[in-house]
């Protein structure tokens, strides 16, 4: 009888063990592979570059932290599920003047008030020497960058590095956000002598593998300030199949929209950055499978134009910044060449050309700054004046009235010697006056492209074309 019971138990025991093992494996599977949320909204910004207030350089006033705060708050509130807010980098201008350092502090304060889940350390941010921007790292302004490090310039010893990844959890579903340049060939000279990207494509590949295994991340997002063509960005992104999404490459125009599902979806998904100087906000809506795969997505960009209301709390931060800048002693670079007279001096001899200029956007360049309340922005002044375009910054209170706006001499050169030369041509030959060897007419009838590019370059003027613009600007 006992033998029969033992035999019966011996037959049942394997089934019990198998069932127990299956149950254990199922539990382990549930533990290691938590269920993903049905949807995920990713809100992202790019290339703020110290722009606290709207930029009016191209297409009218756009951007500014007060408008950004409004749009992000509304996008958060309307989201059908969890939300991540990301920045692809270059929140600072990278310039090291007192004004720009002060501006960065307020930019960080404003962005922290918005509440970011991850902020990439861009190339401009990494130019900051010594402490870099690591001192700004906080709960609501968490910095990430794969391999950007600060090395002591005497010993070569590594002093600090930024967090390679930031882990965010939605329930138990783990999302890793990795900041990266996505470029293995950046010269340290582009970053400042103390900062070193120190990474290769293989390094980042191995890091993403480590994140996937050690951090048990079910989704990896790579955010980058890499600003190259869509084709080049695609090649860079394809190196990292562990990533679900890579935000990098050329900035998308605000009217760009994209929706894909099923087999239309590439891996990883490449998402264009938002417009430079924070003039738009990207909103990416994902539908996810239970395992965290992306079944469909919808992408749009919101234009931060004059129709967007300013967030009142953020306006207080902006006002505090403007007051601090106004109270701070400015660095006064000695950059303006002598010999300028102002556009009114051109009017007597060149009335038609003067009237043509008077009706142009160049003539209204100073008014543009006033209309968007940026006269306290010393970095904006040089390109809205005559004779200061070579400066990184210049305080508005130091600009004489006749040099406000982009006048005739900004394109054609200083007029003082030109007037002297013309007077010699008219009277000198009659009186027999000998022309001095240094009396040469400096006026350039058609300004070269290099003159225009002092201001008409990204991010000030995206997609500017010399040949197209010169045909429109020429005096007929």
Task: Give me the percent of the chain exceeding a pLDDT of 70.
Answer: 80
Q: Is the pLDDT of residue 53 over 60?
A: yes
Q: What is the pLDDT of residue 158?
A: 67
Task: Check residue 335 and report its DSSP letter.
Answer: -
Q: Summarize pLDDT for 95-143 with one digit per residue, the tens.
A: 777 778 888 999 999 999 999 999 999 888 887 655 567 788 899 999 9
Q: Is the pLDDT of residue 194 over 60?
A: no
Question: Looking at residues 300-313, what average pLDDT do you find?
Answer: 95
Q: What is the pLDDT of residue 372?
A: 75
CA distance 297 to 82: 15
Measured in degrees and rounded to the nearest 5, phi and psi for residue 84 equal -120, 140
Q: How is residue 415 written in tokens?
A: 């007029």
Q: How is residue 317 written in tokens?
A: 């931060």
Q: Which band of pLDDT confidence, cut at 50, 70 and 90, is reported for residue 6? A: very low
Q: Are strands 158-161 and 149-151 parallel, antiparallel or unpaired?
A: antiparallel
User: In 3-state terms, what secondary structure has residue 159?
Assistant: strand
Q: Is the pLDDT of residue 154 over 90?
A: no
Q: Is the pLDDT of residue 302 over 50?
A: yes
Domains within the chain, CATH numbers bracketed = 34-322 (3.60.21.10), 334-473 (no CATH)
In DSSP notation, 358-394 reads HTSTTTTHHHHHHHTT-TT-TTTGGGGBSS-TT-S--
Question: Looking at residues 226-254, what average pLDDT do you find?
Answer: 90
Measured in degrees and rounded to the nearest 5, phi and psi for residue 45 equal -125, 165
Q: What is the pLDDT of residue 27?
A: 47
Q: What is the pLDDT of residue 12?
A: 57
- The CA-CA-CA angle for residues 58, 63, 67, to 5°, reads 150
User: Which of 166-170, 294-298, 405-409, 439-443 is the least confident region?
Assistant: 439-443
Q: Summarize pLDDT for 392-440 with one digit per residue, the tens.
A: 677 787 888 889 999 999 999 888 888 888 877 777 666 666 666 667 7
Q: Is the pLDDT of residue 301 over 90?
A: yes
Q: What is the pLDDT of residue 236?
A: 86
Q: Is the pLDDT of residue 31 over 60?
A: no
CA distance 53 to 322: 10
Q: Which band of pLDDT confidence, cut at 50, 70 and 90, is reported for residue 32? A: low
Q: Is the pLDDT of residue 29 over 50?
A: no
Measured in degrees and rounded to the nearest 5, phi and psi for residue 473 equal -85, -15
- The CA-CA-CA angle for residues 144, 133, 235, to 5°, reads 40
Question: Looking at residues 444-454, what average pLDDT do you find?
Answer: 87
Q: What is the pLDDT of residue 431?
A: 63
CA distance 131 to 253: 35
User: In 3-state terms, what secondary structure has residue 463?
Assistant: coil
Give the CA count within 13 Å in the CB-facing half-sphere of 6. Answer: 3
Q: What is the pLDDT of residue 284?
A: 98
Question: Looking at residues 263-272, what average pLDDT do you find?
Answer: 94
Whether residue 313 contacts residue 319, with contact meaning beta carbons closer than 8 Å, is answered with: no
CA distance 247 to 191: 21
In DSSP notation, 395-452 reads -GGGS-GGGBS--HHHHH--SHHHHHHHHIIIIIHHHTPPPPTT------SS--HHHH
The pLDDT mean for the chain works out to 82
Q: How far is Cα of residue 215 from the mean position of the Cα atoms in its chain? A: 29
Q: Is the pLDDT of residue 270 over 90?
A: yes
Q: Which band of pLDDT confidence, cut at 50, 70 and 90, is reported for residue 23? A: very low
Q: What is the pLDDT of residue 46?
A: 96
Question: Looking at residues 189-202, what average pLDDT do you find?
Answer: 60
Q: What is the pLDDT of residue 339?
A: 85
User: Which of 62-66, 216-220, 343-347, 466-470 is the least confident region?
Assistant: 466-470
Q: Of residues 59 and 46, which shows the higher confidence score?
A: 46
Q: Which band of pLDDT confidence, cut at 50, 70 and 90, is reported for residue 11? A: low
Q: What is the pLDDT of residue 17?
A: 47
Instruction: Quote the pTM value.
Output: 0.78
Q: What is the pLDDT of residue 309?
A: 96
């Amino acid at each position: 009888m006992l033998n029969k019971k033992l035999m019966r138990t011996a037959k049942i025991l394997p089934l019990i063990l198998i069932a127990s093992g299956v149950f254990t494996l199922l539990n382990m599977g549930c533990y290691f592979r938590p269920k993903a949320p049905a949807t995920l909204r990713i809100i992202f910004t790019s290339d703020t570059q110290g722009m606290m207030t709207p930029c009016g350089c191209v297409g009218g006033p756009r951007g500014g932290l007060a408008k950004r705060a409004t749009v992000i708050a509304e996008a958060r509130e309307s989201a059908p599920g969890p939300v991540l807010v990301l920045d692809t980098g270059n929140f600072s201008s990278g310039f090291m003047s007192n004004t720009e350092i002060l501006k960065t502090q307020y930019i960080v304060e404003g962005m922290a008030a918005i509440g970011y889940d991850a902020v990439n350390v861009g190339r401009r941010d990494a130019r900051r020497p010594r402490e870099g921007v690591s001192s700004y790292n906080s709960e609501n302004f968490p910095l990430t960058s794969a391999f950007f490090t600060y090395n002591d310039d005497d010993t070569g010893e590594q002093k600090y590095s930024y967090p390679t990844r930031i882990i965010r959890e939605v329930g138990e579903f783990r999302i890793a956000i990795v900041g990266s340049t996505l470029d293995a060939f950046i010269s340290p000279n582009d970053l400042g002598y103390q900062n070193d990207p120190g990474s290769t494509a293989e390094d980042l590949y191995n890091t993403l593998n480590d994140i996937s295994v050690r951090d048990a991340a079910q989704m990896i997002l790579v955010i980058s300030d890499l600003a190259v063509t869509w084709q080049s960005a695609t090649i860079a992104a394809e190196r990292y199949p562990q990533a679900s999404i890579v935000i990098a490459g050329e900035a998308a125009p605000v009217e760009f929209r994209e929706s894909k599902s099923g087999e239309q979806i590439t891996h990883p998904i490449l998402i264009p950055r938002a417009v430079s100087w924070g003039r738009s906000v990207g909103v990416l809506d994902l539908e996810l499978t239970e395992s965290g795969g992306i079944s469909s997505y919808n992408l749009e960009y919101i234009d931060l134009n004059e129709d967007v209301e300013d967030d009142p709390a953020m306006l207080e931060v902006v006002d505090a910044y403007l007051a601090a800048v106004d109270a701070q002693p400015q660095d006064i670079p000695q950059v303006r060449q002598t010999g300028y007279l102002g556009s009114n001096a051109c009017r007597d001899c060149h009335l038609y050309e003067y009237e043509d200029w008077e009706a142009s956007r160049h003539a209204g360049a100073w008014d543009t700054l006033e209309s968007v309340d940026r006269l306290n922005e010393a970095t904006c002044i040089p390109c809205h004046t005559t004779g200061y375009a070579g400066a990184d910054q210049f305080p508005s209170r130091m600009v004489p009235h006749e040099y406000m706006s982009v006048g005739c001499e900004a394109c054609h050169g200083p007029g003082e010697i030109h007037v002297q030369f013309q007077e010699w041509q008219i009277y000198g030959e009659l009186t027999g006056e000998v022309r001095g060897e240094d009396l040469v007419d400096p006026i350039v009838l058609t300004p070269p492209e290099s003159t225009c590019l002092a201001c008409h370059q990204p991010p000030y003027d995206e997609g500017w074309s010399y040949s197209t613009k010169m045909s429109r600007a020429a005096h007929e």
